[in-house]
Amino acid sequence: MTQPQESTNPLTRLARFLRSPMFPIFMIVFVDVLGVGITIPVLPLFAQNEFGASAFQITTIASAYFLAQFIASPQLGRLSDKFGRRPVLLVSQAGTLAAFLISGSAVVLPFLYLARIIDGLTGGNISVAQAYLSDITDEKNRAQGIGIVSAAFSVGFLFGPAFGAFMAAQFGPRAAYFAAAAISVITVSLTYFLLPESLTPERRAAMKPRDGAKKKSPVEMLRLPGVAILMAVAFAGQLGFFAFQSVFVLWSEKVMFVGYDARFVQQAVGYIMTYVGFIGIITQAFMVRPIVRRFGERSMVAGGLFTRSIAFVIMTFFPVIPLVVITVPLISFGQGLVVPGLTALLTYLVPPDERGYAIGLAEAVQGLGRISGPLIAGLLFDYVSPSAPMGFAALIGLLSMIVSLALWRIPRAGKKEAVST
């Protein structure tokens, strides 16, 4: 009779969590996302002021990270299937630690490229962590495991920009990277001493590839009704969002905070991005479900794209501090509607046995958007105007919203939307 009381006691549940393999997994994902969050307010002005980097050079650093991650993540997943999750997680975290140390010790601009490429090549932390949790959970508690990863991601992005901005403003940009490295050392230690291997020999033997039904090629997948349209919208969504994100700090310095020093800009942007992260958490935790029930996923995606585009238009033509503080969270709100909506729609458009493959293909397509967006934004910033990337993001958002309207013509098998509009 004491078992239920024990399980509902918050302190008991916390103690059990801290002793479980889920705690190191939480910290692995948290530190990985924390590192990404730190770079948002710190890296652009660090590269510009310390090494004289142009906007295009700065945005290519971001693209280099996403390109390396795009190439390496699937291979890390396969290696974890072959050799186990724990060794791959340790190598991945070592790469993250090395990237922090190289960034903090950079003496020339190529060091920053090297750091981000190393972090990208070893940046399979999240996908391998998800595989680890799938190994140690069953259907009854798998949702809890997924929740651990989601919570770590949200907390990391919530605190990363603010932490990086505070450290950079108080102690200089290098201090932000060294502080993140110190946290990373703790996480590596947790993994080494507390995380057992989840992929036992028995599980590994059971993971033999099946020679059954032939999987569709990417071209065949795109020929399914609505899939090509949805993939185009997914690509455009990431293209516009990362065009905005990659130059937001530089844009803030040149357009919104003219005359302020770099430390103030870093701190202000860090707090704004933390606010953006908070809005994203609220959107996905409390607003997605009721919006889907009331309007359906297609309307949610179109509405999210439209909301983001309006915010980008305001930032392009009315770049004053009060308006930007109000409109930037709208970007996070719109993104919080678009991403889960597109994923849900994709699962309705493809056969059940192809859903995992289709989601992986969509992630690859979105990865191309993350690579391309910063490159285009950097060129526009340097050769057109600092506000041109925001206008580009607005145009891409509006075009992708128009394209998404074609999804209403596609019959969907497997699920009906809550309300058809």
Confidence check: pLDDT of 394 > 90? yes
Maximum mean pLDDT: which of 2-11, 74-83, 360-369: 360-369
Higher pLDDT, 138 or 338: 338
Higher pLDDT, 340 or 4: 340
User: What pLDDT digit, counting tens, does each position of 304-318 carry?
Assistant: 999 999 999 999 999
Choice among 255-259, 350-354, 381-385 with the minimum mean pLDDT = 350-354
User: What pLDDT digit, counting tens, does each position of 132-157 carry?
Assistant: 877 777 656 665 666 677 677 778 88
Query: How much of the chain exceeds pLDDT 90, in percent?
Result: 30
Higher pLDDT, 318 or 3: 318
The predicted model gives 9-35 an average pLDDT of 77
Predicted pLDDT of residue 50: 94
Q: What is the signed CA dihedral for 156, 161, 164, 166, rounded to 10 degrees?
A: -120
Q: Which amino acid is present at 196? A: P
Predicted pLDDT of residue 380: 97
Mean pLDDT of the chain: 82
| Whether the Cβ atoms of residue 182 and residue 101 lie closer than 8 Å to each other | no
Predicted pLDDT of residue 305: 92
The predicted model gives 153-178 an average pLDDT of 87
Rounded to 5°, the CA angle 326-327-331 comes to 130
Whole-model pTM? Answer: 0.81
User: What pLDDT digit, counting tens, does each position of 82-102 carry?
Assistant: 888 888 889 888 998 999 999
Predicted pLDDT of residue 414: 45
Predicted pLDDT of residue 53: 95
Rounded Cα–Cα distance for residues 3 and 183 (Å): 35
Higher pLDDT, 165 or 218: 165
What the block records as the tokens of 117 is 């490429």
Rounded Cα–Cα distance for residues 394 and 240 (Å): 7
The predicted model gives 204-227 an average pLDDT of 67
Residue ranges and CATH numbers for the domains of the chain are 19-206 (1.20.1250.20), 216-421 (1.20.1250.20)
Cα separations in angstroms, 394 against 56, 301, 316, 376, 379: 20, 15, 9, 14, 16
Residue length of the chain = 421
Confidence check: pLDDT of 195 > 60? yes
Confidence check: pLDDT of 210 > 60? no
Query: How much of the chain exceeds pLDDT 70, in percent?
Result: 86
Predicted pLDDT of residue 335: 84
User: What pLDDT digit, counting tens, does each position of 276-303 carry?
Assistant: 878 877 887 778 878 888 888 888 889 9
Predicted pLDDT of residue 206: 60
Higher pLDDT, 388 or 150: 388
Predicted pLDDT of residue 8: 60
Predicted pLDDT of residue 194: 80
Choice among 146-155, 189-198, 338-347 with the minimum mean pLDDT = 146-155
Predicted pLDDT of residue 55: 95
Confidence check: pLDDT of 199 > 80? no
Confidence check: pLDDT of 4 > 50? no
| Nearest Cα residue to 122 out of 87, 94, 153, 84 | 94
Q: What is the 3-state secondary structure (H, E, C) of the chain?
A: CHHHHHHHCHHHHHHHHHHCCHHHHHHHHHHHHHHHHHHHHHHHHHHHHHHCCCHHHHHHHHHHHHHHHHHHHHHHHHHHHHHCHHHHHHHHHHHHHHHHHHHHCCCCHHHHHHHHHHHHHCCCHHHHHHHHHHHHCCCCCHHHHHHHHHHHHHHHHHHHHHHHHHHHHHHCHHHHHHHHHHHHHHHHHHHHHHCCCCCCHHHHHHCCCCCCCCCCCHHHHHCCCCHHHHHHHHHHHHHHHHHHHHHHHHHHHHHHCCCCCHHHHHHHHHHHHHHHHHHHHHHHHHHHHHHHHHHCHHHHHHHHHHHHHHHHHHHHHCCCHHHHHHHHHHHHHHHHHHHHHHHHHHHHHCCHHHHHHHHHHHHHHHHHHHHHHHHHHHHHHHHCCCCHHHHHHHHHHHHHHHHHHHHHHCCCCCCCCCCCC
Predicted pLDDT of residue 240: 93
CA 138, chain centre distance (Å) = 26
Cα separations in angstroms, 17 against 9, 140, 155, 260, 264: 12, 17, 17, 45, 39
